Amino acid sequence: MTSGVSDLFSHRGEQLRQSLAPLADRMRPRSIDDFQGQEEILGPGRLLRRAIAADRVGNLILYGPPGVGKTTLARIIAASTRAHFSSLNAVLAGVKDLRAEVEEARRRLEQHGLRSLLFIDEVHRFNSAQQDALLPWVENGTVTLIGATTENPFFEVNKALVSRSRLFRLQPLQPRHLHQLLQRALQDPNHGYGNRSVRISAEAAEHLVDVAGGDARSLLNALELAVETSEPDDDGVIAIDLTIAEESIQQRAVLYDKQGDAHFDTISAFIKSLRGSDPDAALFWLARMVEAGENPRFIFRRMLISAGEDIGLADPQAMVVVEACAAAFERVGLPEGLYPLAQAALYLASTDKSNSLLGFFDALKSVKASSRQNVPAHLRDANRDGKAFGDGVGYRYPHAYAEHWVAQQYLPSALQGQVFWQPGQLGWEGQRRQLLQQRRAAQLAAAAEHEAELGEVLSSSPEDPALERWLQRQLGSEGERLDALRSRLWQDATWRRHDRVLILEARSLLWALDPLEHTPEGGVVIQTADSTDAERLRNQLRVLDALRQPSVLCCDTAGLAGALEPGSVFEWIAARHPFRDLSADQLPAALDQLERLAAPNGQLRLLFSQPAIGPAAALLAITDLPDALRNLLAPLPALEQAWLSAPPDRELLQIGLEQRGWQVNWEQWEEPLELNLTAALIERWLGVNAAYRSHLSGVLQPEQVRLLNDALQERRGYRLPQKLQHQRLTALRMGSIARKASTR
């Protein structure tokens, strides 16, 4: 009786807790399909989504700013796993709590064979001793760790824990995700305000989303405050207008930690902007540091280093100017000290003195007003975690280029093209006005060209030696010539670890080996139309871990969309000899499907190979060929050149792709080789159903074809000269910056 009463009160207490919980807690997604944003790591076909569905989630560390779904994602994993799930908050828990959880996990594993997932929120708050206490149990598999942190795990988490975990970097939510979340909160009768009459104006919704800055919790807290503090009108409607929205959420936070990523990344971006002679970007990053409370003396110290390192004797006054500005700052203090601070930065960026200091305050206003201030990946500090997250990759060192300048993006993508400093037309500024305009135009063009090359690297995994050994065996199994073609197909590919790759019309694993190595948190799909090929490929892949195996689909290209998981798109689509059997009328439909399957800024790589010398031309190179046979073959080489034109038509393919928004490039080369005249080769040329024999039937009589076959059979073992013409098509699906630049 006592137990029943206790359970009743416990149940009622839980119901009361849920009803009193904040809106942000009530609106947490319950399933992965309800999860907003993070498509780069949770989209269809991505590794983490597959791992959750297969209940194969290993050690994870989820890293990102507040309000992007780290804890929510952990709860979704908890709801989908068959393992026991428990959680700790590192702010409240100590070694004693940790040991208790580990002991229970060990008991469950030994007595019941049940795995245990341990979620630790704010894992960076554990000190070194607490993290060390956890490490042995993670290593021996007693617990599977899921950690959530707002700090860079490479900086704040035990390196041994990091090396044994997959890392996923969650990004601030996009405005469209926040708008969807806002509408769901207003319409949900169980967890939101669907059972109340709430009307929000478009301006109010836009303000809430903009100031929330990608933070779902901040958005929902502001909505809750607006609704709960507003009285309904005579019709019972709670109307949220722009004034109420502004009172509910007034200030955008500038995310900045003086000991973490933001500190190092932002000062790195600032110094690289000075070195790159970009005054606009230099002012922007300077404004961000000032707004976030960075010590101006630290900035002056870094500018003194820059004056010596990046300007030196090219302008001996640079060091003098920075030192004078630093002394002026010490004399006047803040806020007036911002003038000499900005003056020194502009001098270094422009290698001469400028009085256009008001541009700094334009940049300061932009910091306060802009919601997208992420440091581009290639400008981030690469000294600590560049290998895992790709920070600093793609940065172009200006000193390596003529005139010590190169066109590249220094501002965030959302602010690309923004002008903060506009030089006048007279004196020193006037002399540089035209050069600066030319450089700004070149930077926009460079951003358009390279928009798809660099992107966020959102995950990291421990090394997999078994996979490395398997890849090396596969690379050697196809022969040196085909391996060279594989290298040429993927040459200069800029991989991201979470990219998804589609290999079309595959008969071999060769073309998928590079994606398998470089996209461990993405996914590789191999399509083949032949069931025998599909079974052979699956057998070759069985030695790999199930989560690392590519998906092999047996279907024709027309049915590919139906065979894929709904919503599947790919950053890379590649094939050798695609569209072989398509007519010119069928090609548009195939290109339409490619467009549907390609992600924004997706890339296409196609390799076409075609003999440059036909059988007759190769045979005529044999020196002891009888005159009768030589006369028989003499008219054929000219005809073979027409027969050898390879489908699909290159011009039609290029036009079709460009009409669909692709930027296309071709590369062509020849490969000389020799053919061994074998029975199989003769059968391929002159067999009953051979295409070459079909061509010959329009030129030679059946008796002549028989004589040709007999002559070839007598010369089996001869080495015939051959040339292959290879054509590689690379195409980039143009993104927003590219389209903007192309319309200028």
List the beta bridge partners of residue 149. Answer: 63
Q: Is 149 helix (H, G, I), strand (E, B) or coil?
A: strand
pTM over 0.75? The answer is: no
pLDDT, residue 359, reads 59
Could you give the CA distance from residue 51 to residue 49 in angstroms, rounded to a whole number? Answer: 5
pLDDT, residue 744, reads 44
Q: List the CATH number of the domain containing 132.
A: 3.40.50.300
3-state helix, strand, coil in the chain (%, to 5): 50, 15, 35
Could you give the CA distance from residue 55 to residue 58 in angstroms, rounded to a whole number? Answer: 9
Q: Which residues contact 55 (CB under 8 A, 6 or more apart)?
A: 80, 81, 82, 83
- Are 186 and 156 contained in the same domain? no
Burial group, residue 520, by CB count within 10 angstroms (0-12, 13-18, 19+): buried
Question: Is residue 608 one of the residues assigned to a domain?
Answer: no
Place of tokens 């015939």: 720
- Are 191 and 158 contained in the same domain? no
Q: What are phi and psi of 672, to 5 degrees?
A: -80, 140
- Are 211 and 311 contained in the same domain? no
Q: Classify residue 231 by its DSSP letter.
A: -
Q: What are phi and psi of 178, to 5 degrees?
A: -65, -40
Q: If phi over 0 gives left and psi between -120 and 50 gives alpha, with beta otherwise, what is residue 300?
A: alpha
Torsion angle, alpha carbons of 515, 518, 520, 526, to 10: 0
Q: Classify residue 564 by its DSSP letter.
A: S
Could you give the CA distance from residue 665 to residue 58 in angstroms, rounded to a whole number? Answer: 41
User: Are 405 and 443 in contact, with CB atoms under 8 Å apart?
Assistant: no
pLDDT, residue 355, reads 38
Number of H helices, E strands in the chain: 35, 15
pLDDT, residue 8, reads 42
Number of other residues whose CB lies within 10 A of the CB of residue 331: 9
- Are 149 and 191 contained in the same domain? no
Q: List the CATH number of the domain containing 346.
A: 1.20.272.10
**Cα three-residue angle 131-137-143, rounded to 5 degrees:** 105
- For 668-733, the DSSP string reads EEEEEEEEE--HHHHHHHHSTT-HHHHHHTTTS-HHHHHHHHHHHHHTTT-EEEEEEEEEEEEEEE
- Are 51 and 185 contained in the same domain? no
- Are 359 and 270 contained in the same domain? yes
Nearest to 34 by CA among 81, 69, 86: 69
Question: Is residue 697 one of the residues assigned to a domain?
Answer: no
Radius of gyration of the chain (CA): 32
User: Are 507 and 531 in contact, with CB atoms under 8 Å apart?
Assistant: no
Nearest to 605 by CA among 576, 584, 582, 583: 576
CA distances from 494 to 122, 430, 491 (A): 33, 40, 9
Half-sphere exposure of 672 (CA within 13 A, CB side): 2
pLDDT, residue 525, reads 93
Q: Which two tokens stand for residue 192?
A: 């939101």
State which of 136, 169, 202 marks the end of a domain: 169
- Are 274 and 410 contained in the same domain? yes
Sign of CA pseudo-dihedral 542, 168, 605, 471: negative
- Are 284 and 324 contained in the same domain? yes
pLDDT, residue 572, reads 94
- pLDDT, mean of each 10-residue run, the chain (744 residues): 45 55 81 81 83 83 82 83 83 82 87 85 81 82 85 77 82 85 85 83 84 80 82 82 75 50 79 90 88 82 85 79 90 86 91 50 70 72 65 77 78 74 59 73 61 50 61 58 84 88 87 86 89 84 78 87 88 88 82 90 90 81 80 83 68 90 91 82 82 80 85 83 87 63 44
- Strands (E) in 298-454, as ranges, are none
Q: Give me the helix-helix angle, 296-306 and 338-350, nearest 10°.
A: 20
**Prior bond to 376 cis, omega within 30?**
no
HEC string of 159-198 equals: HHHHHCCEEEECCCCCHHHHHHHHHHHHHCCCCCCCCCCE
Nearest to 99 by CA among 115, 88, 114: 88
The amino acid occupying position 45 is G
- Are 96 and 196 contained in the same domain? no
User: Are 164 and 59 in contact, with CB atoms under 8 Å apart?
Assistant: yes
- Strands (E) in 212-299, as ranges, are 238-240
Q: Which residues contact 406 (CB under 8 A, 6 or more apart)?
A: 276, 396, 398, 400
pLDDT, residue 457, reads 53
Question: Is residue 645 one of the residues assigned to a domain?
Answer: no
Could you give the CA distance from residue 391 to residue 256 in angstroms, rounded to a whole number? Answer: 17
State which of 141, 169, 197 marks the end of a domain: 169
Q: Which two tokens stand for residue 337?
A: 């000290």
- Are 189 and 158 contained in the same domain? no
Torsion angle, alpha carbons of 401, 404, 406, 411, to 10: 150
List the beta bridge partners of residue 148. Answer: 62, 121
Could you give the CA distance from residue 404 to residue 525 in angstroms, rounded to a whole number? Answer: 43
Torsion angle, alpha carbons of 688, 690, 696, 700, to 10: -20
Q: Is 60 helix (H, G, I), strand (E, B) or coil?
A: strand
State which of 248, 276, 306 marks the end of a domain: 248
Task: Count how many domains the chain has.
Answer: 3
Q: Classify residue 309 by its DSSP letter.
A: I
Print the domain residue range for 53: 38-169
Question: Is residue 488 one of the residues assigned to a domain?
Answer: no
Q: Which two tokens stand for residue 398?
A: 């200006």
Q: Which two tokens stand for residue 577?
A: 């000899």
Could you give the CA distance from residue 338 to residue 353 in angstroms, rounded to a whole number? Answer: 16
**Prior bond to 648 cis, omega within 30?**
yes
Question: Is residue 134 one of the residues assigned to a domain?
Answer: yes
Q: Which residues of 476-502 are buried (b: 16+ CB within 10 A; e: fewer)?
A: eebeeeebebbeebbeebebbbbbbbb
Q: Which residues contact 471 (CB under 8 A, 6 or more apart)?
A: 513, 516, 517
Could you give the CA distance from residue 135 to residue 680 in angstroms, rounded to a whole number? Answer: 60
**Cα three-residue angle 461-463-466, rounded to 5 degrees:** 125
Q: Which two tokens stand for residue 511?
A: 């073309």
Could you give the CA distance from residue 645 to residue 611 in angstroms, rounded to a whole number? Answer: 9
Half-sphere exposure of 523 (CA within 13 A, CB side): 22
The amino acid occupying position 618 is A
- Are 131 and 265 contained in the same domain? no
pLDDT, residue 386, reads 53
Burial group, residue 129, by CB count within 10 angstroms (0-12, 13-18, 19+): exposed
User: Are 656 and 623 in contact, with CB atoms under 8 Å apart?
Assistant: no
- Are 150 and 239 contained in the same domain? no
pLDDT, residue 3, reads 47
Question: Is residue 598 one of the residues assigned to a domain?
Answer: no
Q: Is 594 helix (H, G, I), strand (E, B) or coil?
A: helix
Helix ranges restricted to H, 580-687: 587-597, 615-619, 627-633, 636-643, 650-659, 679-686
Q: Give me the helix-helix angle, 358-369 and 279-291, nearest 10°.
A: 60
Question: Is residue 85 one of the residues assigned to a domain?
Answer: yes
Q: List the CATH number of the domain containing 218.
A: 1.10.8.60
Question: Is residue 184 one of the residues assigned to a domain?
Answer: yes
User: Are 166 and 61 in contact, with CB atoms under 8 Å apart?
Assistant: yes
